[in-house]
């Protein structure tokens, strides 16, 4: 039996990964570690919270002593690290919180894993530290287009798509060019993860993914925000002319990619995960055989339908009632 810590498992992407692992691997013990900040919602996992192979631990990844004790108590074999502050606008207003969580929190996890695994007779054998990052560490896609053709470049909302317009691509060997406190903090955490492999031999993997969308996303992000505002007949806030182009990845496809990379990815490798899989030299396609199951049109239709069918979830999130769920479920345990 493997024991896996998934950090940020009550968040948007993390809850999908937790659900996938709990359901797919009944012989694994899945430990969901989440601080339950505004974006962490245990109601996202109501369907699996009583499974015998699942445990929730409320903890701050920056609390080294707590994380190290948990590593020892649970005899952890692997870490899938998703916990992060991730909203660009919030990072602009409060860069210190992003540096603390994304950089120092990652360093805390790395050091706890290093000390525990190095204390074992087998040391790093069979162990894995998998760090989930963002394509925003690369900066912005530099878009080119033939003379006379103007934006928008892609009718499919994909920054890594539509070669007819001469788009350039994010690749794993691009230099980092973060442009916000959020992406700068994520870039720094990526470097720490790679440094722990190069310095100590820790078996690490880093993936950089594009924008995720789908069920259970906190409505500060673009798609659920628009769905909720349309539902309540509120204005739709759009930056500039609304011509920013990003690649979009359905969250369940991202979870499937994380599963595949955790089990079959090459140690010390970096993988880019994109929604349309047309990124140059993307190892996930060439090496691991992963591809998304949904194109954007079908994915966005599923997403809108989910939010409309789960209006109680949205109402609880927007009102703040979801934050009472932890107290109701775990008080006295």
**Which residues participate in catalysis according to the annotation?**
135-136, 182
Report the alpha-carbon distance of residue 316 to residue 294 in Å, rounded: 28
- C-alpha distances out from residue 108 to 42, 147, 231, 290, Å: 24, 50, 42, 31
Output 64-73 pairs: Cβ under 8 A, ≥24 positions apart.
Answer: 64/108, 64/111, 64/112, 67/33, 67/108, 67/109, 67/112, 68/111, 68/112, 68/115, 68/116, 70/5, 70/31, 70/33, 71/5, 71/112, 71/113, 71/116, 72/116
Cross-strand partners of 212: 249
Report the alpha-carbon distance of residue 81 to residue 71 in Å, rounded: 14
Largest CA distance in the chain: 67
């Amino acid at each position: 039996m493997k024991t896996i810590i998934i950090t940020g498992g009550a968040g948007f992407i993390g809850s999908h990964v937790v659900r996938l692992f709990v359901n797919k691997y009944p012989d694994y013990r899945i430990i969901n570690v989440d601080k339950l900040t505004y974006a962490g919602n245990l109601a996202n996992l109501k369907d699996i919270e009583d499974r015998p192979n699942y445990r929730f631990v409320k903890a701050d990844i920056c609390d080294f002593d707590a994380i190290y004790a948990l590593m020892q108590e649970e005899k952890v074999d692997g870490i899938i690290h998703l916990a992060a502050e991730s909203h660009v606008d919030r990072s602009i207003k409060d860069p210190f919180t992003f540096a603390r969580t994304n950089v120092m929190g990652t360093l805390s996890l790395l050091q706890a894993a290093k000390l525990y695994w190095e204390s074992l007779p087998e040391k790093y054998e069979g162990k894995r530290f998998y760090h989930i990052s963002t394509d925003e560490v690369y900066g912005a896609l530099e878009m080119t287009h033939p003379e006379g053709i103007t934006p928008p470049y892609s009718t499919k909302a994909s920054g890594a798509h539509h070669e007819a317009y001469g788009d350039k691509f994010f690749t794993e060997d691009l230099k980092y060019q973060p442009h916000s406190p959020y992406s700068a903090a994520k870039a720094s955490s990526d470097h720490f993860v790679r440094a722990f492999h190069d310095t100590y031999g820790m078996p690490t993997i880093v993936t950089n993914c594009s924008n995720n969308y789908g069920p259970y996303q906190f409505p500060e992000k673009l798609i659920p925000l628009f769905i909720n505002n349309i539902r309540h007949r509120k204005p739709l806030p759009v930056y500039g002319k609304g011509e920013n182009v990003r690649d979009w990845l359905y969250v369940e496809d991202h979870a499937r990619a994380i599963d595949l990379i955790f089990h079959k990815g090459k140690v010390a490798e970096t993988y880019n995960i994109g929604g349309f899989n047309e990124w140059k030299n993307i190892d996930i396609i060439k090496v691991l055989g992963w591809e998304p199951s949904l194109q954007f049109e079908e994915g966005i239709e599923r997403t809108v339908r989910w939010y409309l069918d789960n209006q109680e979830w949205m109402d609880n999130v927007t009102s703040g009632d979801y934050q009472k769920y932890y107290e109701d479920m775990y008080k006295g345990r």
